[in-house]
Amino acid sequence: MKQFQTWAEIDLDAFHSNLDLYRKISGKDVMIVVKANAYGHGDAYMARCANSWGYDKFAVSSLEEGIHLRQNHVTGMVLVLGAILPTLEHVAVKYDLSLTIPSMEFVKELPKDLRGLHVHIKVDTGMNRIGFHSAEEIKEAVRILFARGAIVEGIFSHYATADVRDDAFMKTQYERFVRTVKAVDYPFRYIHMSNSDGVFHNPENFTNMIRPGIGIYGYADHPDLKPVLSLYSSLTLVKKIHAGETVGYGATYTAEKDEWIGTMSVGYADGWDRRNAHRCVSINGVRVPHVGRICMDQSMVRLPEYIEPHTQVELFGQTIPLTEVSRDLETIPHEILCRISERIPRFYLSENKTVHISEERFHDELL
């Protein structure tokens, strides 16, 4: 990774292990959620790896994400979880994408000819985002969709509280979903509800597919899950400053004595949140604090001694877990991972060897 000053490393063996863990524990088909660029990991390559391991069902948030997978040779089912414009139904047919049906109003706005369109009905069991509340409405929607030639292949819902362990509300949602699906009385091929933590906290035999997201990247309530992505930078410049000198925008940090300051080529445009200014990074296994404000493209740390430029810096990984970063920033791992900029190269590793680099944005001379 020496040719880059900031980069991410993605452990494909950990990703494979997490997928297999979900399949083993659930005993069901696994729909892999790769929305938001696979939570920052790189959707197309991660999905193609999953294809090579025998996984063939994926979930995205939009038509654009689904098209991107198809253009990058991802095979199998691709379900668009979000609501799209009904007038774009033909795009889903063209790229063989399955659509979510979120409401009766959406059904009424669809074209009369839906031949070739695969759909999944969304049931709102308590999230109150999108989805049907009534089994009777779903029956009517299925009737209309079927009459227009659509292939009604699935029905699903989504847990609101699986990750915060509100098991009572999770059970309530599950029971609503079961009642609704039974009342619709239609032979859906795919019935799915469990997300990353729902698989572990509400094992059940009514559904036949699970839909893990953040868990397959290493963050859910199971001890055998392995973090997949680590983020690194390096020291681009090391200088000594004197007592009374300031660092960064706003001169918010003043040295109390002579100090060594290291500059890193990472900032908020890379997804390194400005709130990290009060946190530490790790150099040679030692935690060193940020000083001054984090800039758009650079940030500074106070070193305990002179350290050679180009020395690797861990932002999060083995020494500083992402869960610690997210706790300190009062957010969740999902947000931090999703915000890692596309200008950060991803190095994909298997058995500690680089097998792929996200080269799309980088010149051959850099690789």
Query: Is residue 361's pLDDT more than 80?
Result: no
Asked if the structure places residue 25 within a domain, the reply is no
Tell me how far apart the alpha carbons of residues 205 and 357 are, in angstroms, rounded to a whole number: 40
List the domain range (segments joined by +) for residue 338. Answer: 229-366
CA atoms within 13 A on the CB side of 235: 22
Tell me how far apart the alpha carbons of residues 327 and 312 are, in angstroms, rounded to a whole number: 24
* Residue 165 pLDDT: 87
Query: What CATH number did the domain enclosing 235 receive?
Result: 2.40.37.10
191 plus 249 within the same structural domain = no
Kindly report, residue by residue over 119-175, the tens digit of the pLDDT: 999 999 999 999 999 999 999 999 999 999 999 999 999 999 998 888 999 999 999
Q: Which residues are catalytic?
A: 35, 249
* Torsion, Cα of 162, 164, 167, 173 (10° steps): -50
Query: Is residue 360's pLDDT more than 80?
Result: no
Domain end among 194, 217, 240: 217
345 plus 240 within the same structural domain = yes
132 plus 261 within the same structural domain = no
Asked if the structure places residue 362 within a domain, the reply is yes
At 363, the amino acid letter reads: H
Kindly report, residue by residue over 17-54, the tens digit of the pLDDT: 999 999 999 999 999 999 999 999 999 999 999 999 99
* Residue 288 pLDDT: 98
Tell me how far apart the alpha carbons of residues 163 and 307 are, in angstroms, rounded to a whole number: 41
120 plus 243 within the same structural domain = no
Under DSSP, is residue 133 helix (H, G, I), strand (E, B) or coil? coil
Number of Cβ within 10 Å of residue 72's Cβ equals: 13
Q: Which residue has the higher pLDDT, 123 or 358?
A: 123
CA atoms within 13 A on the CB side of 5: 14
Domain end among 169, 194, 217: 217
The answer to whether residues 89 and 97 touch, using CB atoms and an 8 Å cutoff, is no
Asked if the structure places residue 119 within a domain, the reply is yes
Place of tokens 């300031």: 246
Asked if the structure places residue 19 within a domain, the reply is no
Tell me how far apart the alpha carbons of residues 248 and 358 are, in angstroms, rounded to a whole number: 32
190 plus 248 within the same structural domain = no
Asked if the structure places residue 150 within a domain, the reply is yes
Q: What percent of the chain has pLDDT above 90? A: 95
pTM for the whole structure: 0.95
Kindly report, residue by residue over 301-348, the tens digit of the pLDDT: 999 999 999 999 999 999 999 999 999 999 999 999 999 999 999 999
296 plus 276 within the same structural domain = yes
Confidence band, pLDDT 50/70/90 cuts, at residue 3: confident
135 plus 173 within the same structural domain = yes
139 plus 43 within the same structural domain = yes
Asked if the structure places residue 326 within a domain, the reply is yes
Under DSSP, is residue 282 helix (H, G, I), strand (E, B) or coil? strand
Query: What CATH number did the domain enclosing 115 receive?
Result: 3.20.20.10
197 plus 268 within the same structural domain = no
* Residue 1 pLDDT: 55
Q: What's the Rg (C-alpha) of the chain?
A: 24
Asked if the structure places residue 15 within a domain, the reply is no
Query: Is residue 365's pLDDT more than 60?
Result: no
Longest dimension (CA), the chain: 78
What is the number of structural domains in the chain?
2
208 plus 237 within the same structural domain = no
Kindly report, residue by residue over 86-110, the tens digit of the pLDDT: 999 999 999 999 999 999 999 999 9
**Residue 250 — left, alpha, or beta (φ > 0 → left; ψ -120 to 50 → alpha)?**
left
Asked if the structure places residue 81 within a domain, the reply is yes
236 plus 325 within the same structural domain = yes
- Pairing verdict, β 29-30 and 209-210: parallel
N- to C-terminal Cα distance for the chain? Answer: 9
117 plus 262 within the same structural domain = no
Query: Is residue 367's pLDDT more than 60?
Result: no
Kindly report, residue by residue over 162-204, the tens digit of the pLDDT: 988 889 999 999 999 999 999 999 999 999 999 999 999 999 9
Place of tokens 């509100």: 166
Q: Which two tokens stand for residue 319?
A: 């020494």
